[in-house]
Chains A and B, each alone.
Chain A
Amino acid sequence: TQLLEQSPQFLSIQEGENLTVYCNSSSVFSSLQWYRQEPGEGPVLLVTVVTGGEVKKLKRLTFQFGDARKDSSLHITAAQPGDTGLYLCAGFTGNNRKLIWGLGTSLAVNP
């Protein structure tokens, strides 16, 4: 059973467009992380959100943690080809370190 549902599964957009990807669950997470993975590489951590309602910005990327800590979103403004990759969300459901992962959103930004 996949506890974290990511949508959309695939996204292909033109350079300069904005986009939002979602990470949803019926479970409450103590913290949630977003990663980007490029072909042939391991995931790279982008951000960790801990507090319900928290918003974090990383240049053109804006991350939001839902008030109930069950969902999160990633918004990219003016996407660039360098943003291409697999975006993964992952969360901790307790104080252990067993990360629960979504299947990811595969983003392609075309020049």
Chain B
Amino acid sequence: KAGVTQTPRYLIKTRGQQVTLSCSPISGHRSVSWYQQTPGQGLQFLFEYFSETQRNKGNFPGRFSGRQFSNSRSEMNVSTLELGDSALYLCASSLGAGPLETQYFGPGTRLLVL
């Protein structure tokens, strides 16, 4: 069974631009969560989608948004990029949305904002 895939793997943008990242979950998984990972803050929860509905949201500004499609694939969008948005963005999928459901992470998209 294929794992979680994320595209693109690397991205360079300039301040003020917007970016869209894509995540394809493991087949059959209906929950997708997004995280931002930086050396200083570690992993921080962005949001979680289950069956196309946002179930949980972290403490990020409205510039960060996401959505999930009927095939469970998910995208996240960051508008008006700032230098501090440079990070590894990780997507994780799980079968369901219970707190003990195992999350499987993709390799991440590394975003550099210049």
Contacts and interface: CB of A to CB of B under 8 A. Distances in A.
Interface of A: 2, 30-31, 40-45, 48, 50, 88, 90, 92, 95-99, 101-104
Contacts, number: 53
A95 B92 CA distance: 18
Given A95-B99, A97-B55, A42 B45 contact: no
Nearest to A35: B105
Interface string B61-104: 00000000000000000000000000000101000011111111
A90 B56 CA distance: 17
B43 interface: yes
Contact of A99 (B41, B45, B97): B45
B43 A48 contact: no
Nearest to B55: A97
Contacts of A98: 45, 56, 58
